[in-house]
Amino acid sequence: MANTTATGSATRRQRPVFATVPIAVVAAVLLGCGLPFPGPAQDGRDDKPPAVGSGPGGRNQSLGLNPAQELEVGRRAYRQVLREYRDRILSSDSPQTRRVQKVFANVVRAAQLPALQQEIHLRVGGYVFEWEANVVRDEQINAFCLPGGKVVVFTGLLPVAADDDQLATVLSHETAHALAHHASERLAREDDGSIGGVLRGLEYDRMQEAEADHIGVFLMPFAGYDPDAAVRFWERMSRGQRGGRLPEILSDHPSDATRVNNLRKWAPAARAAKQEYDAGHIAPVGDNTREGRR
C-alpha cells in the first residue's frame, strides 16, 4: 500500500494514493483473507454476483462481487486500514473528526433518499451500507471510501477543504464510489479473472472518477450543501500542482479542465433537481428503489 513517510520537516511521498489505496486494500483482502472470488453457488443459494444490468445513469454495469461479498470485503479491508493507521486515528471527540462526521452524516442521509436513488439509477436493492468515517493524522491531501461505506479522511485534506461545502464535495464523491459499486465493477472487468489480472487492473479509472463526480455533485444539494463548491474545490486542487507537487486527491482523475467544465455543467442541474424534489415533483415509484439496509 502507498504511504507517506515524514522525517523532521521534510516529507518523502512514495506514490499517489487517492483511489488506489482502497482498491489495493480490497485486492489484498481477496488474496489473503480466504474470501473466495465469485463462483458456483453453494447449498442451493444463488450467491453469484449480479449479471450485466443497469448501473448508474442507466448504463450497463457488470459486478464481480455479490452484495454479501462486497460488504465482507469492505469490512475486512477497513479493519486492515485501521490496523495500519491505529496510532494516528483521531478520537471521536476531536474537532476534525466531529467536522468530518457531521458533513458525512448529511451526505449519507441524502444517499438514502429513495427518490434520489431512483433519479441517479443506483443499484442499492439488497445491499447493506455500514456508513462510518474516521480521520487519520497524516499530511496527505486525500480521502477514500471502501466497499460498504467505510470512509477514511486524512487531516491534510481538511485545511484545503476551505469550508463544509468543499468538504462535502470530497465526501460525496467518495460516497458515490461505494454507491456505484466501483470496486466490484473493476473486479468484473478483468479479462482473465486471474489474481494477477486483478492486481494489475485494480484502480478506479477515469470513467468511474467522472461518474463519482456526477453522482457526488447531485448528492450535495440534497445533503444541504452548495454544488458550486465542487467547482471551487477542484480548482483549488489544481492549483496545488504548482511547483510540481500533485495532490494525491488528483491522481488518476480526469484532467482539471474536463473535471471543472463537467462540474460547472452539472451543478445547476443538481440544484434544479433539489428544487423539483422540494416542490414534490420527484417521488420514488415502487419498492424496488429502497435501499437494502439494516
The residues, ordered by sequence, that sit 6+ positions from 136 with a Cβ below 8 Å of its Cβ are 85, 88, 89, 90, 152, 153, 154, 155
Model confidence over 53-69: pLDDT tens digits?
A: 568 988 888 888 999 99
- At 170 the pLDDT is 97
Q: Are 271 and 94 in contact (CB under 8 A)?
A: no
**pLDDT tens across 204-256, in order?**
678 889 999 999 999 999 999 999 999 999 888 877 654 444 444 445 555 67
**Alpha carbon distance 275, 269 (integer Å):** 10
Conformational region of residue 276, where left means phi above 0, alpha means psi within -120 to 50, and beta covers everything else? alpha
Catalytic site includes residue 72: no
Q: Give the per-residue pLDDT at 289.
A: 36
Q: Are strands 10-13 and 4-7 parallel, antiparallel or unpaired?
A: antiparallel
Residues (pLDDT < 50) of the chain are 1-17, 32-46, 51, 191-192, 195, 197-202, 242-250, 287-294
Catalytic residue (choose from 174, 209, 248, 291): 174
| Predicted pLDDT at 74 | 93
For the entire predicted model, the pTM comes to 0.79
If you write DSSP's letter for every residue of 51-71 in order, what string do you get? -SEE-GGG-EE--SS-HHHHH
Dmax of the chain from CA atoms? 59
